Amino acid sequence: MDIRLNEDQIEIARQARRFCENESPMEYVRAMFEDERGFTDDVWRKMVDMGWTALRIPEAYGGLDMDLMDLAVILEEMGRAMVPGPFFSNVLLAAEAVMEAGTEPQKERYLSRIATGETIGTLALHESDGGADPGYVQMGARPVGNGFVLNGTKLFVPDAHVADFLVCAARTESGEDPAEGITLFLVDPKAEGVSVSLLPTMDGTRKLCAVEFKDADVSADGVLGEPNKGWKPLSRVLRRAQVGLCAECIGGAQRAMEIATEYAKVRVQFDQPIGTFQAVKHRCAQIYVEVESARSILYWAAWAQDHGDIEEAALAASVAKAYCSEVYRNATASAIQVLGGTGFSWEHDIHLYLKRAQANEVALGDPAYHREQVAQLIAG
Amino acid sequence: MDFRFTPEQEAFREEFISWLEENLPDDWDPSRYRNYDSSEELARAHKDLQRRLFEAGYAGLHYPKEYDGQGRTLMEEVIVLQTITSTCAELRMPGVITFGMAAPVILICGSEEQKREFLPKTLDGTHIWCQGFSEPNAGSDVANVSTRAVKKNGHYIVNGQKTWTSFAHIADYCILLVRTDPDAKKHKGLSYLLMDMKLPGIEVRPITQITGEQEFNELYMEDVRVPAAMLLGKEGDGWRIAITTLMFERVIGDVTMAAVYQRNIERMIQMASQSKRSGKAVIEDPIFRQQLAQAYIEVMVLKYHGLRNLSQQLQGDIPGPEGSIGKLLWSEPNQRITEAALGMQGPGSQIMGGSPWSVQDGFWQFSFLRSKGSTIEAGTSEIQRNIIGERVLGLPKDISRAVRIQ
Ligand SMILES: Cc1cc2nc3c(=O)[nH]c(=O)nc-3n(C[C@H](O)[C@H](O)[C@H](O)COP(=O)(O)OP(=O)(O)OC[C@H]3O[C@@H](n4cnc5c(N)ncnc54)[C@H](O)[C@@H]3O)c2cc1C
């Protein structure tokens, strides 16, 4: 047992911190918050040059074949700096889906180009009720000739407006078990019958879209992996992505804690720094307790995806997602209270963190959903 | 990073689990959470188990061999502790101060003679220790201790009163915080004594606590003559050693408490599977399921945070103020968990153990009440948050304390 980052991971974190400080300062984050596209080619290119898009891709497709834990270290820094853009949707959703479900030719076609940054993908999973269970995948795909025709609406699709391809989960069969009969499709968002529109979401640093399908044709080789068997590989993708979100949450919560603590040391009221008052001090202490303990859970969850059996991986992902996302939300809310009126202003950065925390909390299953998963796993 | 035990550690764990099953007291009933009615009986059973652990080579695994330890790592010790607490937490209870505070502090701060005299007898179950820090006017403000010790002819003559002294009525020795120099500044005038509880002039008066049990006591000392050789560290070192003691207590707490609570979660699931409310099985109630999952999540947080801390300590670090996190993580969630468990029982939650209508023999009623002490003992939650705020985050000290410490 050794629950510490290794030297390589510490170095990766250090480089990521420097990268984020230099390439994604808050001015950039704010500009991208307002920007429709949400990132610049320049920063994207530099991120690719860091090897981040290739990190998890197997060596056979030009990647570095590293662990989720290694990526988690970077995601923590990205969450701390709130780096905008389609990194998460591309690397943790689309690439992982192709890795898990794709046929050899599909992997060859997509993975190497994701690694080099030439192509960007995302995952179209949720529908209007936003549920994370397979039963909530209701959008239908009808077999026609050799291919399929898609009809329906996907919501909360991250970065679809800038994606070159979508992995879209649709129902091709319905029976007793909702996990059966889901097929993953590779869809070109610019194809006929597919329309993408940005949703006016609270968090402007991660764009979410509605993707509407009206008689959109997908050919037979647009089926990612096997028809009707999409949920199983997808569930592995989702677990890792949930853990990835946890890493982001911890980075953001850590920053919120630092913001609150730094302010509590310098803001003077009643002739004393407000950090002297226990009502303030204990808030900061509580954020620290939650952030540090959430980091311990993140490490477990990331390790379990890399090395644990499927049950531990599932349990750890849900434990982590429920806990870390609530920790992030609490940290930002608490920090705003410590900042007083300043924290309520658009000018101060804390609201960006609050908004990302809110988005991360409900993404890929909200805490109530994950607690129910935990209950099922421990008590049936 | 690796969350698994090594194959050797895993083998050790399995070997110890079977050893423990063989060596539990004959009358031990694993289905009961309390097997002993009196603390004297419990103390005897505790000492007996400790003696067997010692003889079998399972005591003081990470203590050096020259003091009759096993010279292995803290990891093996933790494996043993986790197994004991998830199998028979009750038998471990009288030893929490002995092994959580007294033994480690003697190892770190004791003289060679003290280590040779006390460590073997502590590891082999001869001695149970109690902790005499708190006084009527020195609770959170430990430095306010006023029990006096005056050095005279090779002895410290001790006069004063301690309170809330857990296990004093069954203890053989006491780690005692006393004032040796009333003229020095508050923190500077304190010293740390190892006091034989059989010395003349010591009186122990049990205090009945919220659970109806008598686990802690008032401890009166009148002209008690403690040999000068029983001074731990130097005169005036008492405050520093006391702080070290408390930090040790916090570290050991996390990993063992996680094992206890994990067992409790199993109890909770069992209860919910067997109970009905409004005609429906509790286990199917969505609100309960959320609470159960939240309880489990908080236990996992304690467990993995504790293990992460332990990892750091295996590198030889002395526990620092970050240890306060663990204290908060084991004390506060358990209050929520036990409240949730009572909530599931509805009106039935009023029935203590001993009735045909008792649920799980009143385990949750007892635990709910006991959990209220956890945010007070070993430094209150407020004190832990002060420590984190001031010593970890570097926030300014409270005005009152800032002035006093200068
Ligand atoms: C079950 C149990 C077992 C115990 N066993 C032992 C033992 O074996 N040996 C021993 O020496 N002691 C023992 N204690 C005593 C324990 O250490 C003290 O009760 C504890 O330190 C608090 O002191 P107090 O009770 O005097 O409360 P006080 O210090 O008077 O505190 C009362 C309230 O005021 C708050 N408060 C006090 N100071 C501050 C501050 N600076 N900032 C914010 N809030 C503050 C506290 O948090 C608390 O809420 C035990 C206590 C319990 C409950």
CATH of the domain at A103: 1.10.540.10
Q: What is the average pLDDT across A280-298?
A: 98
Is residue A132 scored above 70 in pLDDT? Answer: yes
Q: What is the average pLDDT across A30-41?
A: 97
Q: Grade residue B402 by pLDDT with cuts at 50, 70 and 90.
A: low
B135: which residues sit within 8 A by CB, 6+ positions away?
A: B144, B145, B146, B147, B160, B161, B162, B163
Q: What is the pLDDT of residue A380?
A: 92
B23 and B85 within one domain: yes
Structure tokens belonging to residue A330: 């609490």
Q: Which residues pair with B194 in a beta bridge?
A: B175
Q: What is the pLDDT of residue B252?
A: 66
B201 and B62 within one domain: no
Among the partner-chain residues B2, B283, B386, the one whose CB lies closest to the CB of A1 is B2
Q: What is the pLDDT of residue B30?
A: 86
A310 touches chain B (CB under 8 A): no
Q: What is the pLDDT of residue B244?
A: 81
Q: What is the pLDDT of residue B27?
A: 86
Among the partner-chain residues A281, A299, A323, the one whose CB lies closest to the CB of B385 is A281
For A369, the closest chain B residue by CA position comes to B290
Is residue A223 scored above 50 in pLDDT? Answer: yes
CB contact under 8 A, A299 and B269: no
Which range is least confidently modeled, A97-101, B184-188, B203-207? B184-188
Q: What is the average pLDDT across B9-18?
A: 97
Q: CA-CA distance, B10 to B79, in Å (whole number)?
A: 9
pLDDT digits (tens, 9 = 90+) for A2-22: 999 999 999 999 999 999 999
Question: Which residues form the pocket of ligand 1, taking CB atoms under 6 Å from any ligand atom?
Answer: A 278; B 130-134, 139-140, 164-166, 216, 373, 376-377, 380, 382-383, 386
**Domain extent at residue B293:** 240-405
Residue type, B378: A
pLDDT digits (tens, 9 = 90+) for A169-184: 999 999 999 999 999 9
A1 C-alpha to ligand 1 centroid (Å): 35
Atom of ligand 1 nearest to the CA of B168: 8
Angle, CA B262 vertex, CA B248 and CA B359 arms, to 5°: 120
Has residue B2 been placed in a domain? Answer: no
Q: What are phi and psi of A202, to 5 degrees?
A: -65, -45
Q: What is the pLDDT of residue B32?
A: 87
Which range is least confidently modeled, A360-364, B205-209, B310-314, B388-392? B310-314
CATH number at residue A165: 2.40.110.10
A54 and A97 within one domain: yes
Is residue A199 scored above 80 in pLDDT? Answer: yes
Is residue A154 scored above 90 in pLDDT? Answer: yes
Is residue B401 scored above 70 in pLDDT? Answer: no
Q: What is the pLDDT of residue B243?
A: 87
B375 C-alpha to ligand 1 centroid (Å): 9
Q: What is the average pLDDT across B196-211?
A: 97
Is residue B406 scored above 50 in pLDDT? Answer: no
The torsion of the CA quartet A363, A368, A372, A378, rounded to 10 degrees, works out to 100
A284 touches chain B (CB under 8 A): yes
Are A199 and A210 a contacting pair, CB within 8 Å?
yes
What pTM does this model have? 0.96
Set B41, B249, B339, B377: catalytic member: B249
B295 and B278 within one domain: yes
B171 and B213 within one domain: yes
Is residue A327 scored above 70 in pLDDT? Answer: yes
B138 and B51 within one domain: no
B393 and B270 within one domain: yes
B350 and B259 within one domain: yes
For B7, the closest chain A residue by CA position comes to A1
Q: What is the pLDDT of residue B403?
A: 58
Q: What is the average pLDDT across A161-172?
A: 98
Has residue A1 been placed in a domain? Answer: no
Is residue A96 scored above 70 in pLDDT? Answer: yes
Are B258 and B211 a contacting pair, CB within 8 Å?
no
Q: CA-CA distance, A211 to A198, in Å (whole number)?
A: 9
CATH number at residue B227: 2.40.110.10
Q: What is the pLDDT of residue A280?
A: 98
Q: What is the average pLDDT across A349-365?
A: 97
Of the candidates B145, B148, B146, the residue with the CA atom closest to the CA atom of residue B156: B148
CB contact under 8 A, B395 and A272: no
Of B380, B397, B399, B400, best ligand 1 pocket probe by most atoms within 8 Å of the beta carbon: B380
Residues on chain B touching A297 (C-beta within 8 angstroms): 300-301, 304-305
Q: CA-CA distance, B226 to B193, in Å (whole number)?
A: 8
CATH number at residue A303: 1.20.140.10
Is residue B332 scored above 80 in pLDDT? Answer: yes
Q: What is the pLDDT of residue A129?
A: 82
B184 and B162 within one domain: yes
Among the partner-chain residues A285, A300, A370, the one whose CB lies closest to the CB of B304 is A300
Is residue B405 scored above 90 in pLDDT? Answer: no
CB contact under 8 A, B301 and A294: yes
Q: What is the pLDDT of residue B209?
A: 95
B213 assigned to active site: no
Q: CA-CA distance, B239 to B405, in Å (whole number)?
A: 13
Q: What is the average pLDDT across B110-116?
A: 98
User: How many folded domains does chain B comprise?
Assistant: 3
**Domain extent at residue A116:** 7-120
Q: Considering A173, A197, A228, which residue would you say is the last residue of a domain?
A: A228
Q: Considering A120, A147, A175, which residue would you say is the last residue of a domain?
A: A120
Q: What is the average pLDDT across B2-25?
A: 96
pLDDT digits (tens, 9 = 90+) for B51-98: 999 999 999 999 999 999 999 988 899 999 999 999 999 999 999 999
Q: What is the average pLDDT across A78-83?
A: 98
B265 and B349 within one domain: yes
B184 and B300 within one domain: no
CB contact under 8 A, A272 and B301: no
Residues on chain B touching A6 (C-beta within 8 angstroms): 1
Among the partner-chain residues B3, B329, B394, the one whose CB lies closest to the CB of A3 is B3
Atom of ligand 1 nearest to the CA of B373: 53
Q: What is the pLDDT of residue B251?
A: 62
Q: What is the mean pLDDT of chain A?
A: 97
